[in-house]
Structure 1
Amino acid sequence: MSVVTLVSGGLDSTLIAYLAKEEGVHQHPLFVNYGQRSLERELAACQRAMQKLCLDNLKIAELSGYGGLIRSGLTDPAQRVLEDAFTPGRNLLFLLVASAYAFQVDAEAVSIGLLHEETSIFPDQTSAFLQDAERIIARILGREIKVLSPLAAFHKDEVIALARSKGIEGTYSCHLGGEIPCGACIACNEFRVEEI
């Protein structure tokens, strides 16, 4: 099997890449620059993780204009990173770009790091969204591309424990992009423990 793995440098997507590597899945890692405030640190963490996994085919989708147009706490320093975190269409954008890339490299699937539906706070983090996205992707590409969410049965504490057991470290998840995680954004609040 061949898959486009959406990787951000964060814990969830890094774990997905590790799991796929362990299973012998051929990966095409894809990082999306959507104009996020944390771009520099996310990308650096992502590049380190892919290097550690010997995945030297990381591609970067340069879509920074999205964050200039669709403003949220994740893309605009003038907004509040916690209260204004919803970035409309972000996960659909990720899946659309990943699927188009999968079409070009003849991959059968794309993989995204969404967790258990009980933890979802936005409409584009649900299983219904993923099913709808898979249908629309098949319609627009003319062939099926599976949308995988390998961590859909996991809560954050389980992801942290699994990542630690595999020796994963050096990830970056803070939406503000500072050297020290802010401790206030949604990504930081998910941990409630030190960043690993």
Structure 2
Amino acid sequence: MSFVNLVSGGLDSTLIGVMAKEDHIDHFPLFIDYGQRAAAKEWATCQSVHRQLGLPVPTRMDLSGFGQVIASGLTNVSMDVKEDAFTPGRNLLFLLMGSAYAYQVGASSVAIGLLAEQFSLFPDQRQPFLVQAEQAIAAAMGRQIKVLTPLIEFGKADVVRLATEKGVAGTYSCHTGNSQPCGRCIACLEFQFNEGE
């Protein structure tokens, strides 16, 4: 078995890579620049953290035109990074591109770092979407490419705990792309919310 790991330089996707390395599972990290505000910071962090942890060198896919047309708080600085965070089609884009890359490199699956459903805010983070996406991908590719969600039983507190145990450090998860986390985007708030668990 081998899989494409959709990576962002963040804690969740980095932890998936570390777990795969420990289990000696071949994986192909894929960073997608979809025109997100944080793309430059995420990509730099992604490369750095993969180097530090001895993970495979990530491949970057430039789809930045997506974010130029599909405006959200994640792609457009004039919109609110938290209130306007939903980016229509983003996770489907990730899974489709990850699956196309999996097809290309001969991998059987694509992994996305979604957490337990009670922490999901958007329809493209939930099980019905994942099932239907997998079916659509199989129809599009002419063969099954499994969608993996290795962290789906976890809350952010669980991820932080496990990542700390495994020595994962230096990741970046803020949606603004600023050097200091903003403290109010969904990614930042996940950490704050789970600190109290």
TM-score by length of 2: 0.96
My pick for the range that moved more, 55-64 or 154-163, is: 55-64
* Aligned residue type for 1:166: K
Structure 1 residue 20: deviation in Å? 0.9
Deviation track 1:115-167 (CA, whole Å, cap 9, x = no partner) reads: 00111000000011111111100000000000000000001111111111111
Q: Which residue of 2 aligns with 1:115?
A: 115
Q: Say if 1:71 and 1:98 are closer, same or farther in 2 by CA, change over 3 A.
A: same
Q: Which residue of 2 aligns with 1:84?
A: 84
Answer yes or no: is the 8 Å Cα contact 2:18–2:55 preserved in 1.
no
Q: Which residue of 2 aligns with 1:21?
A: 21
2:29 is paired with a residue whose SS is strand
1:147 is paired with a residue whose SS is strand
* Aligned residue type for 2:31: F
Answer yes or no: is the 8 Å Cα contact 1:34–1:65 preserved in 2.
yes
Q: Which residue of 2 aligns with 1:151?
A: 151
Q: Which residue of 1 aligns with 2:183?
A: 183
Q: Which residue of 2 aligns with 1:41?
A: 41
Answer yes or no: is the 8 Å Cα contact 1:81–1:185 preserved in 2.
yes
Q: Which residue of 1 aligns with 2:97?
A: 97
2:3 is paired with a residue whose SS is strand
* Aligned residue type for 2:136: I
- Structure 1 stretches of 4+ with a deviation exceeding 3 A read none
| Distance (Å, rounded) in 1 between the aligned partners of 2:5 and 2:156 | 19
Answer yes or no: is the 8 Å Cα contact 2:3–2:27 preserved in 1.
yes
Answer yes or no: is the 8 Å Cα contact 2:51–2:57 preserved in 1.
no
1:177 is paired with a residue whose SS is coil
Percent identical pairs in the alignment equals 56
* Aligned residue type for 2:69: L
Asked if residue 161 in structure 1 is aligned to residue 161 in structure 2, the reply is yes
Structure 1 residue 48: deviation in Å? 1.3
Deviation track 1:77-105 (CA, whole Å, cap 9, x = no partner) reads: 01000100000000000000000010011
Q: Which residue of 1 aligns with 2:11?
A: 11
Paired residues, number? 195
Answer yes or no: is the 8 Å Cα contact 1:8–1:43 preserved in 2.
yes
| Distance (Å, rounded) in 2 between the aligned partners of 1:108 and 1:185 | 33
Gapped runs of 5+ residues in structure 2?
none
| Distance (Å, rounded) in 1 between the aligned partners of 2:57 and 2:14 | 15
Structure 1 residue 55: deviation in Å? 3.3
| Distance (Å, rounded) in 1 between the aligned partners of 2:123 and 2:35 | 21
Deviation track 1:45-80 (CA, whole Å, cap 9, x = no partner) reads: 110122123334421110000000100000000100
